[in-house]
C-alpha cells in the first residue's frame, strides 16, 4: 500500500477497539466493560462505518478475562448487523487463556496475533514466544480465522517475515502497525513510513497509535493507502484534556476524516473480499 493507493481511492477498513485489558472506568467512565455495554458501542460504531470490532472480555469486576469473550461475542451477534468480530489472543495471560480467543462458538472471523513480547507499564510484560505465536497461527489457519498481525516494534517486523516464511499465513497478510510508548514503535510519521516500507510483499496494513498519536498517525495511514484502528482501548481522549464520550465519538471523527480525504469506508463484505476471508 502506498500513496498511489490513496490516489486510486481504495476503500479504508476501520476497526473499532472498544475496550482492552488494561485501563477501565477508573481511567474514563465511558470505557465499556460488560458484554451489553461493549455490544451497544460496537453497534453504534458499526452504524458509523466500522467494519471490524476488536474484542476483549472482562469479568464482573472489569478485569481482563478471556473466559468472558464468548459472552461479548454473543452480545455483539445479538445487537450488530454484520460487523466482523476480531477476538484478541493477546494480553499478559498464559497460552491456555490466549487460545480461548479462537475457540469461541462460532469461531471468530478474525483474531489478533501479537508477534512477540513487549513491556506495557512499569510492572506489565506481555510474554509471547515464537513457538506460541506459530501455534496460534496454525490453529487460525486450520479454522479459517484471518489473523491481524500485531507489529509492536521493529523486532516484530523481523518476526513477521519469519512467520511468512513458515507458510502458516494466507495472503494477503493483514498487518497492524502499533506506535506508542515503552517497547512499542516510536510514534513519529517517519517511523510509520519506515515500517510500511519494510513490510513483506502481499501485505495490507493498518495503523494503531496510542493516546495523542492516534489522530495524526491514523490520518497518515489513510494518506498512505492504509487502514485504521481507533477506540478507547488505545486512546481515552477526544482532544487534549477532553475525555472521549465513547468509542462512537472517535469512530465518527475518523470516518469524517476518511471522507474529507476523498476515500470511502469499506463495508464488512468488502473487507472479507479484500482480505480473502
* Cα–chain center distance at 178: 9
Per-residue model confidence as pLDDT tens digits over 40-57: 999 999 999 999 999 999
Nearest to 58 by CA among 95, 18, 85: 18
At residue 2, the pLDDT reads: 75
At residue 269, the pLDDT reads: 98
Q: How many CB atoms lie within 10 A of CB 67?
A: 10
Beta bridge partners of 169: none
- Kindly give the parts of the chain with pLDDT less than 50: none
Q: Where are the domains of the chain?
A: 3-270
- Cα 49 to Cα 38: distance, rounded to the nearest angstrom: 16
Instruction: Find where cell 460504531 sits.
Output: 45
- Cα 52 to Cα 42: distance, rounded to the nearest angstrom: 9
Beta carbons of 210 and 185 less than 8 angstroms apart: no
Q: Is 77 helix (H, G, I), strand (E, B) or coil?
A: helix
Beta bridge partners of 204: 174
At residue 1, the pLDDT reads: 60
Nearest to 132 by CA among 153, 117, 148, 151: 117
* Cα–chain center distance at 170: 18
User: What are the grid coordinates assigned to 250, written together?
Assistant: 472517535
- Cα 138 to Cα 249: distance, rounded to the nearest angstrom: 37
199-202 long-range contacts, Cβ below 8 Å, gap at least 24?
199/157, 199/160, 199/173, 199/175, 200/160, 200/161, 200/164, 200/173, 202/171, 202/172, 202/173
Beta carbons of 116 and 130 less than 8 angstroms apart: yes
Interhelix angle 214-223/189-197, rounded to 10 degrees, is 40
Q: Evaluate whether the domain defined by 3-270 bears CATH number 3.20.20.70.
A: yes
Beta carbons of 229 and 176 less than 8 angstroms apart: yes
Beta carbons of 230 and 16 less than 8 angstroms apart: yes
For residue 23, CA distances in Å to 70, 117, 172, 185 come to 21, 19, 32, 20
* Non-local CB neighbours of 40 within 8 Å, separated by 6+ positions: 32, 79
At residue 22, the pLDDT reads: 86
Amino acid at each position: 500500500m502506498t500513496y498511489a493507493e490513496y490516489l486510486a481511492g481504495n476503500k479504508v477498513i476501520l476497526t473499532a477497539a472498544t475496550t482492552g485489558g488494561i485501563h477501565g472506568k477508573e481511567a474514563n467512565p465511558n470505557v465499556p466493560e460488560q458484554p451489553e455495554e461493549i455490544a451497544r458501542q460496537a453497534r453504534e460504531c458499526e452504524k458509523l462505518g466500522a467494519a471490524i470490532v476488536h474484542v476483549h472480555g472482562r469479568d464482573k469486576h472489569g478485569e481482563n478475562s478471556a473466559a468472558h469473550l464468548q459472552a461479548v461475542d454473543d452480545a455483539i451477534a445479538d445487537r450488530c448487523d454484520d460487523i466482523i468480530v476480531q477476538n484478541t489472543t493477546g494480553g499478559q495471560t498464559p497460552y491456555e487463556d490466549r487460545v480461548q480467543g479462537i475457540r469461541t462458538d462460532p469461531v471468530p472471523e478474525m483474531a489478533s496475533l501479537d508477534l512477540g513480547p513487549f513491556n506495557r507499564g512499569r510492572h506489565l510484560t506481555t510474554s509471547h514466544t515464537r513457538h506460541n505465536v506459530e501455534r496460534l497461527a496454525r490453529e487460525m489457519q486450520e479454522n479459517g480465522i484471518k489473523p491481524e498481525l500485531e507489529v509492536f516494534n521493529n523486532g516484530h517486523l523481523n518476526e513477521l517475515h519469519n512467520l511468512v516464511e513458515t507458510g502458516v499465513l494466507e495472503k494477503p497478510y493483514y498487518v497492524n502497525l502499533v506506535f506508542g510508548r515503552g517497547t512499542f514503535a516510536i510514534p513519529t510519521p517517519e517511523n510509520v513510513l519506515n515500517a510500511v516500507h519494510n513490510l513483506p510483499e502481499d501485505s495490507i496494513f493498518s495503523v494503531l497509535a496510542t493516546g495523542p498519536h492516534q489522530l495524526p498517525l491514523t490520518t497518515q495511514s489513510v494518506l498512505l493507502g492504509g487502514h485504521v484502528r481507533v477506540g478507547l482501548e488505545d486512546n481515552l481522549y477526544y482532544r487534549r484534556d477532553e475525555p472521549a464520550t465513547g468509542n462512537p465519538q472517535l469512530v465518527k471523527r475518523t470516518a469524517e476524516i476518511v471522507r474529507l480525504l476523498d476515500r470511502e469506508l469499506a463495508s464488512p463484505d468488502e473487507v472479507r473480499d479484500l482480505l480473502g476471508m
